[in-house]
Amino acid sequence: MARVAIVTGGTRGIGRAISERLKADGFTVAANYGGNDAAAQAFSSETGIAVYKWDVGDFDACTAGVAKVEAELGPVDVVVNNAGITRDATLHKMTHAQWDEVIRTDLTSVFNMSRLVIEGMRARSYGRIINISSINGQKGQIGQTNYSAAKAGMIGFTKALAQEAASKGITVNVIAPGYVDTEMVAAVPEPVLQKIIGTIPVGRLGKAEEIARTVSFLAAEDAGFITGATLTVNGAQYIAG
């Protein structure tokens, strides 16, 4: 029986590429989404991947969502915490709402989803939790104190949970993408985008499929000795020691 994987924010951008790659790898994939019903249904029709709508920042909604996935598809052995938003502003102009929205969606969601699958994973002595952070969680970014804090928090969360779960056959890892050619990056004004590309030694944006390939590597059954790691996928734009 195929292992079940949940991908949060799994119907668009990097999440879509991850969902499609895991399906190609033989997983039964549940792609979570938060708001765009039309895009989610189009994605499901095109890929044959089941979609599930819930707010990953809401613990009760996650509880119901995970329960529905497990009832319909089976126990969850892989969770990819990919859902994320930005609400950019320099700190002296940032509202409390902008801070809360990003922390809730980008970081609290990681607790919510991991908490709801960890007991089952421990009972079965197997699991893969993969958290999608960001280059800006490693180096920081002007106008993104909220986003950088959330993405850095994911790294600390991962390191702690990796140690807690290691003896139970559960791995917990982080992928920190650089700038990837998605809708979010495409919205950046062209002159700014060209400046960003100029700082990337490989000379281009990343591809969503390259992030998905890294998820595929960490999600594999024979990747059990890799845990607590942060894999940077950024074209050498930022090299963490």
Q: Which positions are catalytic?
A: 147
End-to-end CA distance of the chain: 40
Q: Would you give the distance in Å from CA 130 to the centre of its chain?
A: 7
Can you read off the two tokens belonging to residue 140? Answer: 């920081």
Measured between alpha carbons, how far is 58 from 37 in angstroms, rounded to an integer?
18
Measured between alpha carbons, how far is 48 from 219 in angstroms, rounded to an integer?
20
- Single out the residue of 6, 212, 214 nearest to residue 117, CA to CA: 6
- Contact call for residues 19 and 91 (beta carbons, < 8 A): no
Measured between alpha carbons, how far is 170 from 157 in angstroms, rounded to an integer?
14
Provide Rg for the chain, Cα atoms: 17
Q: For tokens 């980008």, what's the residue?
A: 106
